[in-house]
Structure 1
Amino acid sequence: MKLRSATPADAAALARLGRDAFCASFAHLYRDEDLQAFLAAAHSPEKVAAEIADPAMAIVLAVADEGALLGYCKLVLACGWPEHARAQPVVEIKQFYTQPHATGRGIGAAMMDWTLADAQRQGAKEIQLSVWSENHGGQRFYARYGFIKIADIHFIVGEQRDEEFLFAKLL
């Protein structure tokens, strides 16, 4: 496995993985029409291509030796929840995803190491992320890296409001 930055040629594969990973973990929570609208807005190749082109976002890919996409992480070089920031500047991790069949193989650890190092290279003093309140495995993973819960927040998919936790780590 190797890590590399996303390029425009990765947009379709990145959108597909985003959809697959989100659905594997969360599709059962939503009405189909809400889920489909969310996926179209958040995980379309066009949306992902715009994010790849955005200089305020860094996207790292975990790629298998044969070229298959194993995971990705988006680092937004801005704060998603400024009212909860404890240090400036603060950045945000978005969509920290791996292939549903590839968890437990060190992919997440490699991407987190890269993301934390990149945040520090960017001069960040704090890094934030949101995690579903019932995603206990994700919460344990982030806690291993020194993230702590700092607030209760919400995530909206269609008509459903999910309870989420805002986790953060001072760098």
Structure 2
Amino acid sequence: MELRKAILSDAAALAELGAHSFVVKFGHLYTPEDLSTFLAESHTEAKVAKEIADPQMRVMVAERDGKLLGYCKLIMACGWPDHARGQRVIELKQLYTDPEATGQGIGTCLMDWALQEAAAFGADEIQLSVYSDNPGAQKFYCRYGFDKVADIHFMVGEQRDEEYLFAKLVGAA
């Protein structure tokens, strides 16, 4: 598996993988209208292209033999300032893997990259949101030293999902 920075020509494939991963994992939770609205706002080629071009974002892709296996997005800014403990806080926006490739170490490689990128940026805290009923993801983040710091919410169309804000002080055990 190879990690590389996303380029603009990756936008369509990243949008497709993001939408597919979200639908496979969470699609059953939403009405078709809410799911459609969310995907049209969050997982489009234009939105991903804008993120790749944004100097405040870092987008890393994982691939093998030219096949996209996953990606990770970092926003080099604080997503939840009311809950920040650090002075230079960043947000891990998405860490998605192809549902058919789960369990192959893709998430581990992308998380290792995210932590290295955060350190290189000088971040002292990383925040992320995780669905309250996603214990597998919560366990994954806890293995990296992230802890729940707040209850938050996430909108999918008109549906409000209960989420947890997890955070890690960079350099903390």
Residue matched to 2:85? 86
Residue matched to 1:26? 26
Q: 1:88-115 deviations in whole A, cap 9, x for unaligned?
A: 1000001110000111110000000000
Work out the CA distance in 2 between the residues paired with 1:157 and 1:142.
22
Gaps of 5+ in 1: none
Work out the CA distance in 1 between the residues paired with 2:151 and 2:106.
28
Which amino acid is the alignment partner of residue 32 of structure 1? P
Gaps of 5+ in 2: none
Alignment root-mean-square deviation, CA: 0.5
Which amino acid is the alignment partner of residue 89 of structure 2? V
Give the deviation of 1:70 after TM superposition. Answer: 0.2
The 5-angstrom pairing of residues 14-93 of structure 1 reads 14-64=14-64, 66-93=65-92
Work out the CA distance in 1 between the residues paired with 2:161 and 2:169.
26
2:14 equivalent to 1:11:
no
Work out the CA distance in 1 between the residues paired with 2:71 and 2:166.
19
Residue matched to 2:147? 148
Q: 1:77-96 deviations in whole A, cap 9, x for unaligned?
A: 00110000001100000111
Identity level (%):
62
TM-score (norm: length of structure 2): 0.97
- Corresponding pairs, count: 170
Work out the CA distance in 2 between the residues paired with 1:25 and 1:58.
24
Give the deviation of 1:30 after TM superposition. Answer: 0.5
TM-score (norm: length of structure 1): 0.98
Residue matched to 1:105? 104
